[in-house]
């Protein structure tokens, strides 16, 4: 009888023989940019050429389904695949996205091409290596390894691929509602986002929510000469900056109570008390005096809300003129945790600005779809099971994050489908995932292949028992 250890040895050989690099290089080569219509044809290509053949070899039934949020059939399709070994067995839903952000081809360092996997020591460069092609390549390879080693998985699997995550996951929530019965499962496990640090296997149980919005002041058409009209005309840029300063102070502390969470639970404090933040070799230096006072860096990222300006404009920044701008705007974002009044954020901001004398400031939602905050209870049996499995495979105690600092469409799985959600990321904080020189670390990829093989092996052996513990 083949053993767990043999399965992990087998997946290690898969990496050392170069098969992982070969498969990932084929996937990186497809320019599946979901943010621009020019990239739409490659979205289906990624599914039909890379994912479906791989899954079919493992006995999956695969369907490409249209996006309910788009009238363009080539825009952001979904793949739903199923491998049912026993209708009474435990069922896993896993997820990945094959789309990527723009390549920014000319901005990569010399010798690198976003659409060609380049290996430089431990660095695996290419668009999608970290987000998300490398991560789902690991999970699919681990599934295949368990199947080949054991002869069966010991559980049912449903695989959901979306091709519009980098465009804000348009249609995902509606898709999950429409296909709720087909997506029914006992457990959700997927991989996206970074580990807490490269050397530390990590589990997170949800994500912070995110809401992007615009603030605009429009006082008059055009701009007027600052010599002739200075001191006589209200400056839209000045008004906007002062309006913003009523929301957040000069040290990054949010000043409006309605934009903050109700509390920082003690269970969250305990979970993140030893989480390293900003300690990686390539991490930017953090400012310990920025943000909510009295919180540790980990508590600010994983347990609190943040308010950020992402872009702002008044006049012509590239060629300033001696003129008073008649309008100004900024694009902002609030990241928030469970326990926030997210449905009323914009209402709260409008009412606060009006009460502060800034009724000339318009506030509107903008950009990507709002993602809600989610968090699985850290004491859930699935959490203890996953941490134990990872420790057995790696000899390391995994870091447990109540939620990711960033945002993922986890509310579709946790809320719409009602599943316990366990995320096991295979990237690291300095991976440059949305910019030039995106990369994955080979050492992390190898360890992740090993621990995911252990996860899927243990799910087949122990999943039924864990499910009964939750009842």
Delineate the domains of the chain, giving CATH numbers in brackets: 4-207+373-470 (3.40.630.10), 209-261+305-365 (3.30.70.360)
Residue 158 DSSP SS3: strand
Average confidence score pLDDT of the chain: 95
Residue 407: the pLDDT is 85
Residue 277: the pLDDT is 85
Question: What are 199-257's pLDDT values in tens digits?
Answer: 999 999 999 999 999 999 999 999 999 999 999 999 999 999 999 999 999 999 999 99
The CA distance from 68 to 153, in Å, is: 32
Token pair in block for residue 38:
């020019």
Question: What are 91-106's pLDDT values in tens digits?
Answer: 999 999 999 999 999 9
Q: 291 falls in which pLDDT band (50, 70, 90)?
A: very high
Q: 267 falls in which pLDDT band (50, 70, 90)?
A: confident
Question: What are 136-147's pLDDT values in tens digits?
Answer: 999 999 999 999
Question: What are 411-421's pLDDT values in tens digits?
Answer: 999 999 999 99
pTM of the model: 0.88
User: What does DSSP assign to residue 47?
Assistant: I
The H or E element containing residue 224 is strand 224-225
> Percentage of residues in the chain with pLDDT exceeding 90?
89
Lowest-confidence pick of 83-87, 163-167, 275-279: 275-279
- DSSP tally for the chain: helices H, then strands E: 14, 19
Question: What are 351-406's pLDDT values in tens digits?
Answer: 999 999 999 999 999 977 788 999 998 889 999 999 999 999 999 999 999 998 88
The CA distance from 302 to 373, in Å, is: 11
Question: What are 361-374's pLDDT values in tens digits?
Answer: 999 999 777 889 99
Residue 274: the pLDDT is 87
In sequence order, what are the beta bridge partners of 216? 329, 362
The CA distance from 330 to 336, in Å, is: 19
Mean pLDDT for the stretch of residues 440-450:
98
Residue 271: the pLDDT is 87
Is there a contact between 409 and 174 (Cβ–Cβ < 8 Å)? no
Q: 298 falls in which pLDDT band (50, 70, 90)?
A: very high
Q: Helices (DSSP H) in 297-379: which residue ranges? A: 297-302, 345-355
Count other C-beta atoms under 10 Å from residue 98's C-beta. 27
Is there a contact between 217 and 327 (Cβ–Cβ < 8 Å)? yes
């Amino acid at each position: 009888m083949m053993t767990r250890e043999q399965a992990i040895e087998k997946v290690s050989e898969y990496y050392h023989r170069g098969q992982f690099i070969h498969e990932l290089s084929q996937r990186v080569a497809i320019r599946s940019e979901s943010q621009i219509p020019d990239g739409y044809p490659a979205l289906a290509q990624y599914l039909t050429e890379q994912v479906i053949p791989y899954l079919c070899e493992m006995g999956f039934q695969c369907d490409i389904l249209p996006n309910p949020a788009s009238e363009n059939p080539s825009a952001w399709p979904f793949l739903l695949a199923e491998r049912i070994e026993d209708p009474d067995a435990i069922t896993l839903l896993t997820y990945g996205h094959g789309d990527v952000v723009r390549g920014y081809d000319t901005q990569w360092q010399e010798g690198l091409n976003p659409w060609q996997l380049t290996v430089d020591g431990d660095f695996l460069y290419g668009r999608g290596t970290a987000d998300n092609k490398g991560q789902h390549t690991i999970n699919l390879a681990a599934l295949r390894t368990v199947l080949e080693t054991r002869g069966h998985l010991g559980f049912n699997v449903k695989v959901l691929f979306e091709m519009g995550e980098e465009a804000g996951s348009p249609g995902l929530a509606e898709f999950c509602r429409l296909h709720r019965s087909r997506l029914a499962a006992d457990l959700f496990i997927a991989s996206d986002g970074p580990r807490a640090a490269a050397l530390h296997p990590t589990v997170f149980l949800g994500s912070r929510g995110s809401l992007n919005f615009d603030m605009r002041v429009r006082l008059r058409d055009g701009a007027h000469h600052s010599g002739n009209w200075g001191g006589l005309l209200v400056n839209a840029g000045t008004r906007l900056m002062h309006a913003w300063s009523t929301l957040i102070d000069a040290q990054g502390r949010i000043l409006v109570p309605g934009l903050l969470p109700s509390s920082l639970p003690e269970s969250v404090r305990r979970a993140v008390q030893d989480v390293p933040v900003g300690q990686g070799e390539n991490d930017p230096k953090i400012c310990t005096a920025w943000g909510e006072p009295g919180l540790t860096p980990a508590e600010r990222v994983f347990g609190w809300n943040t308010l950020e300006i992402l872009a702002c404009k008044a006049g012509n920044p590239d060629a300033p003129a001696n003129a008073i701008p008649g309008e100004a705007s900024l694009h902002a974002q609030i990241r928030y945790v469970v326990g926030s009044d997210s449905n009323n954020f914009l209402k709260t901001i409008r009412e606060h600005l009006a009460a502060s004398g800034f009724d000339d400031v318009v506030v509107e939602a903008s950009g990507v779809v709002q993602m809600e905050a989610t968090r699985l209870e850290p004491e859930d049996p699935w959490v203890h099971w996953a941490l134990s499995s990872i420790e057995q495979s790696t000899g390391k105690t995994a870091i447990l994050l109540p939620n990711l600092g960033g945002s993922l469409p986890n509310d579709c799985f946790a809320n719409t489908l009602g599943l316990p959600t366990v995320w096991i990321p295979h990237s690291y904080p300095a991976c440059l995932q949305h910019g030039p020189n995106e990369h994955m670390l080979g050492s992390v990829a190898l360890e992740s292949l090993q621990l995911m093989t252990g996860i899927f092996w243990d799910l087949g052996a122990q999943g039924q028992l864990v499910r009964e513990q939750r009842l």
